[in-house]
Amino acid sequence: MTRPFSSYIVTPKELHDELRKNIPTESPKIIPVSAEWYLPNDGRDGRQEFLKLRIPGARFFDLDTIKDPVSPYPHMVPTTSVFTEAMKDLGISRDDTVVVFDSPTLGIFSAPRAAWTFKVFGHPKVHLLNNFKQWVDEGYPTESGPEKPISKTEYPAFEPNHGMISSFEEIKSIAQSNANGKKIQIIDARPNGRWRGKDPEPRPGLSSGHAPKSISLPFTSLIDPMTRRLKPTEELKEVILSSGIDPSSDVEKRLMCGTGVTAVVLDVALEQAGIGGNRKVYDGSWTEWAQRVDESSGLIVKA
């Protein structure tokens, strides 16, 4: 099967046109995958919202279960066994094309993290829908209610690509000016009020603030407030450069947020805008950082 989409970002029309060619009993196929997820203080539940409205035949990628089962932090990259078993349960084969989408209200939020997880495990054909809100607004088919039974598939076990993942130790080293000669920028996707330490974190008891040397680039600044779509390339580039991010390829980027979810919105935006430099997502992000350091160490800055 040839690659059906010309770019990582897919429009509703492109997805709809390709889904019409799908033969449900044949493989490989195109599978829409919902990664609908909400912050702890939101009140909504991703799976319950998925059951209310979704693309027909979509599978649900649960960020709260497809993760490292023993880590104390919320959304760490899953183990090989967890990811592999999840793919089997979702009826996804290695040669299927997956198109990941978000909720119709948030537009672009948690889907990039799920798509990135597919890529961490080397799934060959992964795309991001931009976006489900537009899919609904333009009248493309939807369904609701209980999911139809899914036939389990075989899915080979692959180790995660650790070259895509940053750690607490690396971020701490960068924050303490010990980057081993590398030029590295830490970029934080949380709202600026949380980055500055003025607004509370959505997780009770967790200090707000930011890591030393980090740059504030709220992921919401990369999303059109009306359509909830990722902004056009030139607008993305303007927002990114105005935040102080170096576009050159010799400056590496380390991306963080609250739990490693919206950091991947930054990853997508940097790629779309043509910003250079090796990128890694700090998996534990602020939830890990704020539990392992404190203000007295100088590693939580409020300003």
The string of DSSP codes covering 231-248 is PPHHHHHHHHHHTT---S
From the CA atom positions of the chain, what is the Rg in Å?
19
Give the whole-angstrom CA distance, residue 168 versus residue 245: 21
* Chain center to CA of 130: 13
Q: Say which residue the tokens 């203000």 belong to.
A: 295
Give the ranges where the chain is alpha helix by DSSP (H).
Answer: 12-19, 46-52, 80-89, 111-120, 132-137, 168-175, 192-196, 233-242, 263-272, 285-292
Q: How far is CA 167 from CA 145, 171, 213, in A?
A: 40, 6, 16
Q: Which residues are catalytic?
A: 257
